[in-house]
Amino acid sequence: MTRGKIQIKRIENQTNRQVTYSKRRNGLFKKAHELSILCDARVSVIMFSSSNKLHEYTSPNTSTKEIIDMYQKASGVDIWASHYERMQEIKKQLLETNRNLRKQIKQRLGECLDELEINDLRRLEEEMENTTNLVRTKKFKSLLPLSFFSFFAFSAANLQRECKVCMSIRQTNTVVKGVLVIIKDIFIGNVV
């Protein structure tokens, strides 16, 4: 019984299409292997399925890169040239960004200021003042809970006892009033 010819067109049923792909892929790889053994040829077959899964066959004692290099030499086509040029452009942009960032860091450390004009110096000063204020605010907020609880950890009696050792009663009252003013300022927001 002979096989009938099939019409070469896309198989609509996905399961049948996947089975056919798998069988024909294996058949192609088998033929490539036979060709490399029988004829001592260097063969490389690279395939991607419809789901972008890679399948490849390469002759024994060779690699896909060697085959591609041989192809480039034989055909005079440089496959990697456009990719290399793109990578060089990206490298150039990254080096420029790196150079600019290093320059900004040096300026914030007080170096390389001679080349700046007055507007740039004002902008840099403003940025540094804003940064300093942010750091101070963060520091204050992180210390506030410690300060707040340390004030109330001492009772009034403990505070008076501590002050009596060093000062008279009158001075103790002044210190307690000062602590109360500080606490009041913290809650009202006068302390920065």
Question: Cα 12 vs. chain centroid, distance in angstroms?
Answer: 43
Burial class (CB in 10 A: 0-12, 13-18, 19+), 139: exposed
Which pLDDT value is given to residue 90? 94
The answer to whether 108 and 119 have CB atoms below 8 angstroms apart is: no
Q: How many CA atoms lie within 13 A of 88 on its CB side?
A: 6
pLDDT of residue 161: 55
Residues 6+ apart with CB under 8 A from 67: 42, 43, 44, 58
Segments of the chain scoring below 50 in pLDDT: 154, 165-167, 191-192
C-alpha–C-alpha distance, residues 44 and 54, integer Å: 13
The per-residue pLDDT for 42 is 92
Q: What is the pLDDT of residue 166?
A: 47
How much is the pLDDT for 46?
92
Q: State pTM to two decimals.
A: 0.43
| Residue range 40-64, pLDDT digits in tens | 999 999 999 888 999 999 998 899 8
Query: How much is the pLDDT for 109?
Result: 83
pLDDT confidence of residue 33:
94
